[in-house]
Amino acid sequence: MNYGHRIARLRGARHLTQEEFARKLGITRAALSHYENNRREPDYETIEAIAEYFQVSIDYILGRTNDPQSRLDSNVQLFQDSLELADERILEQFDLTIDGRKLTVEEAKRFIAFIRAERSMND
């Protein structure tokens, strides 16, 4: 289930019309309709407001978990939200593996260099 369906389901469970809920969020009914129909993605502040209003986690709204009260571990959240392999902190903090074997930081750097070179040839 995607975020639009979750928002619509939560709203429906509270017997709110789109107009009523949009007013509570400080957005237009049309914007809410776009979110619920997955035609547009709400910004972070709106997602936060929706989660707060319904007392569910942002992870639930975004479909990262099926448990409305569950939150991802902060390390998993960091990995999922801001994975940038060129960031040495990521390379040092997380074990990246290929075929079950951990990449060394140097192997990861060579891999990144290879991808950059391939991209520059294709641009």
Supply φ then ψ for residue 43, to 5 degrees.
Answer: -75, 170
Residue at 22 is within a domain: yes
Residue at 99 is within a domain: yes
Contact criterion met (CB below 8 Å) for 77 and 85: no
Task: Note whether 38 and 78 are same-domain residues.
Answer: no
Task: Note whether 46 and 92 are same-domain residues.
Answer: no
- Sign (positive or negative) of CA dihedral 7, 13, 17, 22: negative
Task: Note whether 51 and 78 are same-domain residues.
Answer: no
Task: Note whether 49 and 82 are same-domain residues.
Answer: no
Task: Note whether 91 and 114 are same-domain residues.
Answer: yes
Task: Note whether 22 and 48 are same-domain residues.
Answer: yes
Residue at 68 is within a domain: no
Helix ranges (H only) for the chain are: 3-13, 18-25, 29-36, 44-54, 58-61, 74-82, 88-93, 105-122
Residue 85 structural domain: 74-122
Q: What is the pLDDT along the chain (123 residues), one digit of tens a residue?
A: 688 999 999 999 999 999 999 999 999 999 999 999 999 999 989 999 999 899 888 888 888 787 676 665 666 666 656 566 677 777 777 777 888 888 888 888 888 888 888 888 887
**Residue 23 DSSP SS3:** helix
